[in-house]
């Protein structure tokens, strides 16, 4: 191989390592990672559309990422088997455009008061529903108003969900007392997929995803430093 070829391949290899390193250290910025972070601060582009499939569960708006649909089906079946409660899908994947329309309608209702609108509706690109990793869960026996409210949180299905969703890789993303960190009011119906291993840790530590990601990054960096130390 020519000298130039050597230089190019070494440079490319170096760049790949750097890119992989950054993605390893910050999985929250990798759209393919189950730890991909979306909130008011970290918004997704309108061009971002994940791979989706229709979850085989009762309810509406049932599209999710394939692995998330699998997990949701298993979770709903387990809830039925353990409590006899039928859970339904209220809202899964939501397009950027739809979120834009919902936000615009809210802004109009509050007469252009941006702060008031932001308190209730996520800005386009700031909704986790655009990732295909989130689902608003309801209980079949409740009305549509009761689902998406505190009533769901106090229901048999809502309580089971809070205690057991981690077994299937989900977390209750927005909880009371976390508003300043997550940017959203408590939503006992909104589950977010992070994978079973992460969900088990987050559930055991009872912490918001944002906090878990900080700890996780520390762990990853310490591991990397230890491993690099071995090779020198």
Closer residue to Zn ion in complex, CB, 13/169: 169
Closer residue to Zn ion in complex, CB, 19/185: 185
1: Cβ–Cβ under 8 A, 6 or more apart, which residues? 9
Contact pattern from residue 86 through residue 125 relative to Zn ion, giving x for each residue in contact according to CB under 5 A and a dash for the rest: ----------------------------------------
Instruction: Tell me the site size for Zn ion, rule CB under 5 A.
Output: 2
- Cβ at position 150, least distance to Zn ion in Å: 15
Query: Of 57, 62, 133, 136, which one interacts with Zn ion (CB under 5 A)?
Result: 136
Where are the alpha helices (H) located in 84-186, listed in sequence order? 96-109, 114-120, 150-154, 156-164, 179-182
- Cβ at position 5, least distance to Zn ion in Å: 52
Q: Which active-site residues does the annotation give? A: 187
State residue 230 phi and psi, 5-degree precision. -65, -35
Secondary structure (DSSP) of 220-231: HHHHHHHHHHHH
- Cβ at position 225, least distance to Zn ion in Å: 38
Asked whether 24 and 32 are in contact (CB, 8 A), the reply is: no
Select from 61, 205, 184 the least CA-distant residue to 128. 184
- Cβ at position 71, least distance to Zn ion in Å: 16
Site for Zn ion in 137-196 (CB under 5 A): 190
Secondary structure (DSSP) of 28-92: GG-TTSTT---SSSSPPPTT-----EE-SSSBS--EE-HHHHHHHHHHHHHHHHHH-PPEEEEE-
Closer residue to Zn ion in complex, CB, 65/190: 190
Nearest-CB residue to Zn ion? Answer: 190
Site for Zn ion in 31-90 (CB under 5 A): none
Closer residue to Zn ion in complex, CB, 136/216: 136
User: Stretches 16-24, 112-120, 129-137, 207-215: which one binds Zn ion (CB under 5 A)?
Assistant: 129-137
E strand or H helix at 196, and its extent?
helix 196-205
Which tokens go with 108? Answer: 């109009």
Write out the residues near Zn ion by the rule CB under 5 A.
136, 190
């Amino acid at each position: 191989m020519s000298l130039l070829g050597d230089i190019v391949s070494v440079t490319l290899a170096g760049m790949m390592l750097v890119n992989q390193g950054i993605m390893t250290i910050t999985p929250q910025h990798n759209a393919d990672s189950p730890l991909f972070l979306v909130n008011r601060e970290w918004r997704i582009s309108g061009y971002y559309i994940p791979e989706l499939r229709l979850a085989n569960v009762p309810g509406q708006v049932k599209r999710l990422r394939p692995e998330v649909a699998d997990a949701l089906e298993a979770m709903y079946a387990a809830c039925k088997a353990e409590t006899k409660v039928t859970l339904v899908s209220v809202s899964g994947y939501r397009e950027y455009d739809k979120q834009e329309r919902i936000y615009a309608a809210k802004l109009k209702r509050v007469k252009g008061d941006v702060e008031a609108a932001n308190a209730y509706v996520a800005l386009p690109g700031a909704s986790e529903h655009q990732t295909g990793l989130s689902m608003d869960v309801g209980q079949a026996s409740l009305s549509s108003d009761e689902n998406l409210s505190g009533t769901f949180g106090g229901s048999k299905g809502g309580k089971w969900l809070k205690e057991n969703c981690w077994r299937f890789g989900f977390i209750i993303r927005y909880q009371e007392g976390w508003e300043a960190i997550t940017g959203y009011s408590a939503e006992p119906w909104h589950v977010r997929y992070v994978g079973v291993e992460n969900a088990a840790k987050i559930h055991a530590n009872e912490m918001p995803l944002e906090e878990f990601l900080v700890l996780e990054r520390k762990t990853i960096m310490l591991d990397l430093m230890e491993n690099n130390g071995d090779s020198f």
